[in-house]
Amino acid sequence: MSIFIDDDTRLVVQGITGRDGSFHTRQMMEYGTRVVAGVTPGKGGQDFEGPGGERIPVFNAMDEAVAKTGANTSVVYVPPVFAADAILEATDSGISLVVAITEGVPVLDMARAHAFARDKGVRIIGPNCPGLISPGKAKVGILPAQIVAEGPIGVVSRSGTLTYEAVFQLTNVGLGQTTCVGIGGDPLIGTNFIDCLEAFEFDSDTKAVVMIGEIGGTDEQEAAVFVKERMSKPVVGFIAGQTAPPGRQMGHAGAIISGSAGTAEEKIKAFEDNGISVAQRPADIVGLIQDVLK
């Protein structure tokens, strides 16, 4: 099994005719994801050519694309100034999942988009995220497919690059993944650690979870309590930004320490206090996962 995406995923690419959208659409199709439509306002009626010569219809609007193709998922490769409107349009179209790759979306815009999605019962992953991949089933976003393999480990991370590092190391020792989810590093995101942990807990094929956090905010601390109180499966953690100076943004917009609750030390302590094995370095993740699976 997997979480959020699977063999039944029917994907619309918003911004399919742009540079990033077209490149990653072909990558997703090569992996086997069923891309059924693209949306670019003003370019409706055109076709997008896939890597094998497939012709993907392009529509002007999401509602038309969903109505004509039966799509259930959208991925957003739209410039920041237009991204929130694209997410709102996708949310209103009848699909169940929106994956927002775009970085730099204004927080106030996303506050409105997230509130609208909650009212509609639509899940948003991101923005400012690499998306997700369920090995052997579907890829939605920009995660490199060549580093994943099918297996029993769930991965959820705020950091795209560290997701790749952890997955690469797991695959190299024969520990494949059920789903790898990059939730994004913005201050306001649609799907958080707890959402993913809960989904992994109910996924029968997931036997253990890797959770990669970073400085800033309190999501990791809240997730740690959830692990102790609600999860039966072992969780291994890592916190990035252990040497970051207070008050300075380090990479992601949400990776800024504002008080003791956002420090790496406080997050690591929360993990350890709630029974989560903590890797001191990304290279230690594999050993900890092997230990908890014994």
For the chain, the average pLDDT equals 93
* pLDDT mean over 156-185: 94
Question: The domain that contains 189 carries what CATH number?
Answer: 3.40.50.261
Has residue 281 been placed in a domain?
A: yes
Has residue 130 been placed in a domain?
A: no
Has residue 157 been placed in a domain?
A: yes
Has residue 2 been placed in a domain?
A: no
Sequence-distant contacts of 166-174: CB under 8 A, at least 24 apart:
166/210, 166/212, 166/238, 166/282, 166/285, 167/143, 169/282, 169/283, 169/285, 169/286, 170/210, 170/285, 170/286, 170/289, 171/147, 172/286, 173/286, 173/290, 174/149
Please tell me whether residues 157 and 84 are part of one structural domain: no
Give the pLDDT band (50/70/90) at residue 75.
Answer: very high
In the chain, the DSSP E strands lie at: 10-14, 34-39, 47-49, 55-59, 73-76, 97-100, 123-125, 131-134, 138-141, 150-157, 177-182, 208-214, 235-240, 277-278
Tell me which residue of 109, 118, 123, 212 sits closest to 170, measured CA to CA: 212
* Residue showing tokens 């370095």: 281
Q: What is the pLDDT of residue 159?
A: 85
Contact 208, 292 (CB under 8 A): yes
Has residue 135 been placed in a domain?
A: no
Note down the domain range covering 237: 144-293
Tell me which residue of 149, 235, 236, 224 sits closest to 192, measured CA to CA: 224
How many CA atoms, within 13 angstroms, populate the side-chain half-sphere of residue 171?
A: 19
The Cα–Cα gap between 113 and 83 comes to 10
Q: What is the pLDDT of residue 250?
A: 53
Question: What is the count of structural domains for the chain?
Answer: 2
Has residue 121 been placed in a domain?
A: yes
Q: Single out the residue in 73, 94, 125 at which a domain terminates.
A: 125
Has residue 4 been placed in a domain?
A: no
Tell me which residue of 212, 279, 215 sits closest to 241, measured CA to CA: 215
Please tell me whether residues 186 and 224 are part of one structural domain: yes
The answer to whether residue 24 is catalytic is no
Q: What is the pLDDT of residue 291?
A: 96
Instruction: List pLDDT tens digits, range 249-292.
Output: 555 555 455 555 678 889 999 999 999 999 999 999 999 999 99
- Does this model's pTM top 0.85? My answer is yes
Contact 128, 107 (CB under 8 A): no
Q: What is the pLDDT of residue 172?
A: 97
Q: What is the pLDDT of residue 1?
A: 80
Instruction: List pLDDT tens digits, range 142-152.
Output: 999 999 999 99
Active-site entry in 24, 123, 158, 252: 252
Q: What is the pLDDT of residue 184?
A: 93
Q: Single out the residue in 125, 160, 192 at which a domain terminates.
A: 125
Tell me which residue of 138, 144, 179 sits closest to 160, measured CA to CA: 144
* pLDDT mean over 132-155: 98
Contact 209, 219 (CB under 8 A): no
Has residue 137 been placed in a domain?
A: no
* Residue showing tokens 């014994």: 294
Q: What is the pLDDT of residue 130?
A: 96
Tell me which residue of 29, 20, 76 sits closest to 54, measured CA to CA: 29
Please tell me whether residues 101 and 207 are part of one structural domain: no
Question: The domain that contains 21 carries what CATH number?
Answer: 3.40.50.720
Please tell me whether residues 183 and 254 are part of one structural domain: yes
Q: Single out the residue in 72, 98, 125 at which a domain terminates.
A: 125
Please tell me whether residues 110 and 150 are part of one structural domain: no
Please tell me whether residues 74 and 182 are part of one structural domain: no
Residues found in the chain: 294
Please tell me whether residues 207 and 112 are part of one structural domain: no
Please tell me whether residues 258 and 163 are part of one structural domain: yes
Instruction: List pLDDT tens digits, range 9-66.
Output: 999 999 999 999 999 999 999 999 999 999 999 999 999 999 999 999 999 999 999 9
Please tell me whether residues 280 and 152 are part of one structural domain: yes
